[in-house]
A and B are shown apart, each in its own frame.
Chain A
Amino acid sequence: MAVLDTITQETEGHADRTGEADLVVALPSCQSREQLDDAVAGLRTVLPELLPNGKTVILHPDTAVAAASEDAGPSAADTSLQLLAVTMAPVERYHQQSLDQGLRALLQAGRTLNAKVCVMMSSEPSAESLRGLADQVLYNGFDLSVPLYARHKFDSLINRGIVYPLTRALYGARLHNPMAADMAISPQLAGKYLQSQPAAGQTDCGWITTNALCSGLQVCQVHRGFAPLPGVSEAVDLSDSLAQVLSTLLLDAERNAVCWQRVRGSQGVRTFGRPEPEENESAPAQVGEMIETFHRGCKDLLDIWATALSPATLLNLKKLAKLPEDQFRLPDGVWVHALYDFMLGHRQRVINREHLLRAMTPIYLAWVASYALEVQTFSPAAVVNRIETLGAAFEDLKPYLLSRWRWPDRFNP
C-alpha cells in the first residue's frame, strides 16, 4: 500500500524528519488558523499528564496553514509537540467516506511515526475528550475507545432506532455510538484497518468499529457530555440523511456477513467515565406531520414497499395507518421486521438501492412518532430502558434475518 498517500509530499518529508511519536492526533475540523490555535492550546494542557516525557504530533488540514505552529505551536526547543499539515477534509457524522479518508491519513502517519495511539477528533477537539479516549488505549489495553454521548430523549433518533440496536444484534456488542467519528485507535487496529481493501464496487473498507468487533479486538466507550453540534454542513433533508446512514450500515453488514452470522446474543461494552446528569423533559411530542407522511406513504408507496416487505409486515403497517394519533404505536416486532426486510431487499437489489432506502422514510417517521408518543413522559432512565428493550427485540428476531439472508428464495408469509 502506498505510504501516506493522503499526506502531501512536503508533509511526508516532515513526518520522516519527525522520527517517532507516542501520540498522533488528527483535527480535521480545524479548517482555519484560529480554530487550530484554540484546539492546540487546549490540547497542550492535558499532554504532560497524559504522556509524561512523551512526544505528540498533531495532524491538521493544510488549509489551516502552519502559521499556528509559530504561535500556539511548539517552538524549536519544544520537541514534545509538533504540527503536521496534511490534506484532510472535514469529517461528516455518519459519512463513512469522509471518515475513511481522515482515518487513513491519521493511521498512515501513526504507522510511520510508530505511535502508541492515534486519536481522531473530528467533531470535538477538547482536552477532556482527548484524555478520556486516549487513556483507555494507552494504559488500559483497549484497541478502540469511542465516546458515549449524553442525549436528550428526542436526539440522535436514527442512532437510537436503527444504528445502535442493529449493530448490537448483528455484532453482539452493546456499543451505543457505533458510528462515532471521534475515537482512539491502537497500533494493532490501525494495522488491520490499513490492510483492509474496499470490496468490489465499494469505495471504502467499512466502519472501523465493526472492523474492530469482527476482529475480536477490545472496544470500550467513554462517557462524554452532550454530543457537539456538527462542525460542517450536513444533509438537511431527512430522507438524504436516512439513506446515507442506512447505506453505510447495510454495506458494512454485507461486507461483514461472515462475521455477524456467527454471533448470538449481545454483551455489554466496558464503559468509563461518569454519565452527564440529564434533566426530566416532558414536552408533548408534536408528531402530527410525521403520522401524516406515514399515511401518505401507505397510500402511495405500498407498491414499492411490497418489493421488500413481507406480506405480514405490510399488513401490520396498513393496520397501523388506521389507528388514531393517541393510539398510534408501532410494535417493536413490526419495526424490526420492516428494517430487516429492507436490509434483505437492499442486499437483493429488488429495486434501485437509493430508491429503496429513501422509501423507508415514512416507516422510520412512523417509528419516531410512535417512540415519541410513548416516551414523552418517561424519565431519562426509562428512555434508556426503552431503547434496550428495542435492542433486545432486534436480537430476538435475528434468526429471521439469518434465515432469509441465507435462503432468500424460501417461502416467506
Chain B
Amino acid sequence: MWTQIQQALQESTARVLMGFVRLVPGLGALIVALLISAVAAKIFGFLLKRSLRGIKFDAKMASWGISGLSEISPTGSPTLLVVRFVSWCIILVGVLIGIAAFDATLTQQMVIRMFEYFPNFLVAVVLLFFGNVIARFLARGVLIGAVNHNLPYARLLSLGVKWLVIVLTSAMALEHLGIGGRIVDLAFAILFGGIVLALALAVGLGSKDLVSRSLENQTFQGREKSEEQFRHL
C-alpha cells in the first residue's frame, strides 16, 4: 500500500517537474522577447523622437491647428505622445512573439481573436481620441463664451459640456468593444440625462438675472440702445 502511494507521489512529482521544465524554455523565450522588444522600443523611440524633433513636429501640429493634441500629450508635446504610442506597440508585438513560444495553437487562436477584435478596438481608440479633443475644444469655447457674457457658473457649464461629450464618446467606444451590453446603454442614459438636468438647473438658477435682463432689453430695445454709453466699433 505504502509503496503504491509512494509511486503515485513520485509520478505526480515527475509530471509537475516535467511540466515546469517544459514551461521554462517558453518563459525564458517570453522574457527574452520582452527584453528585446523593450530595447527595440527604446531605440526606435529615441530615433523617432529625434526625427520628429528634427522636423519640428510639435510646431507643425500647432500650425495645422491641432492644438487639442498637445493638451492630452505628456508634458504637452505631441512628439512624446507619438513616441510612447509606437514604443508600446513594439512591446505588445514582443509579448505576442513571447507567448508564441509557449504554445503555437494558443497563440494562433489568440492572434485570430485579436485580429477579429482589432477593428473594433481601433474605432474605439479613434472615438475616444476625437471625443477627448472635441470635448476640450467645446468646453473651452463654452467657458470663454460664458465668461464673456458674465454668466456666474461659467466653469460648471464648461465642465458639463466636456463630460457630456466624453460620456457620449465613451459609451460609443464601449459599444464598439462589445463591453457591458445593455448596462452601458442604461448607464449612459442615466449619466447623460443627469448631466443635462444638472446643467439646465445650473443655468436656469444661475442665470435668471441674465434672462430677465435680456428680456428687458428686448422689450425696451429702442430706449436701451439710445442710452448705451460705450460704442466699441
A interface, CB within 8 angstroms of B: 93-94, 152, 154-159, 230, 234, 238-239, 241-242, 245, 283, 285-286, 289, 292-293, 296-297, 300-301, 304, 348-353, 355, 358-359, 361-362, 368, 372
Interface size class of B (residues with CB under 8 A): 20 to 34
Q: Is B180 an interface residue (CB 8 A)?
A: no
Contact with A along B28-72 (1 / 0, CB 8 A): 000000000000000000000000000000000011010100000
Q: Which of B148, B230, B233 contacts A358 (CB 8 A)?
A: B148
- Chain B residues, Cβ within 8 Å of A239: 144-145, 148
B interface, CB within 8 angstroms of A: 62-63, 65, 67, 137, 140-141, 143-148, 150, 152, 154-155, 229-233
B231:A301 contact, CB within 8 angstroms: no
B65:A349 contact, CB within 8 angstroms: yes
A157 to B231, CA, bound (A): 6
Consensus secondary structure, chain A interface: helix
A283 CB to nearest chain B CB (Å): 7
A347 CB to nearest chain B CB (Å): 10
B150:A154 contact, CB within 8 angstroms: no
A352:B143 contact, CB within 8 angstroms: no
B137:A368 contact, CB within 8 angstroms: no
A285 to B229, CA, bound (A): 8
Q: A349-B65, A350-B62, A351-B140 are in contact. Are A301 and B229 (CB under 8 A)?
A: no
- Chain A residues, Cβ within 8 Å of B145: 239, 358
B147:A238 contact, CB within 8 angstroms: no
B232:A348 contact, CB within 8 angstroms: no
A349:B62 contact, CB within 8 angstroms: yes
Q: Which of B140, B141, B148 contacts A361 (CB 8 A)?
A: B148
**Known pairs A157-B230, A350-B67, A352-B140 / 8 extra A-B pairs, C-beta < 8 Å:** A234-B233, A242-B232, A285-B229, A293-B150, A300-B154, A355-B140, A358-B145, A361-B144
Q: Which of B62, B146, B152, B229 contacts A154 (CB 8 A)?
A: B229
A352:B62 contact, CB within 8 angstroms: no
Q: Which of B63, B144, B146 contacts A355 (CB 8 A)?
A: B144
A239 to B150, CA, bound (A): 12
B150:A351 contact, CB within 8 angstroms: no
A352:B229 contact, CB within 8 angstroms: no
A362 to B137, CA, bound (A): 20
Q: Which of A157, A289, A352 contacts B150 (CB 8 A)?
A: A289
**Sorted from nearest, which 4 A-B pairs have the closest CB atoms?**
A239-B148, A155-B231, A361-B148, A349-B62
A309 CB to nearest chain B CB (Å): 15
- Chain B residues, Cβ within 8 Å of A93: 233
- Chain A residues, Cβ within 8 Å of B140: 304, 351-352, 355
B67:A238 contact, CB within 8 angstroms: no
- Chain B residues, Cβ within 8 Å of A230: 233
- Chain A residues, Cβ within 8 Å of B232: 156-158, 238, 241-242, 368
Q: A296-B154, A348-B62, A349-B67 are in contact. Are A359 and B144 (CB under 8 A)?
A: yes
B67:A154 contact, CB within 8 angstroms: no
A397 CB to nearest chain B CB (Å): 23
Q: A297-B147, A300-B155, A358-B144 are in contact. Are A241 and B233 (CB under 8 A)?
A: yes
- Chain A residues, Cβ within 8 Å of B65: 349, 352-353
Q: Which residue of A lies closest to B150 (CB)?
A: A293
B63:A349 contact, CB within 8 angstroms: yes
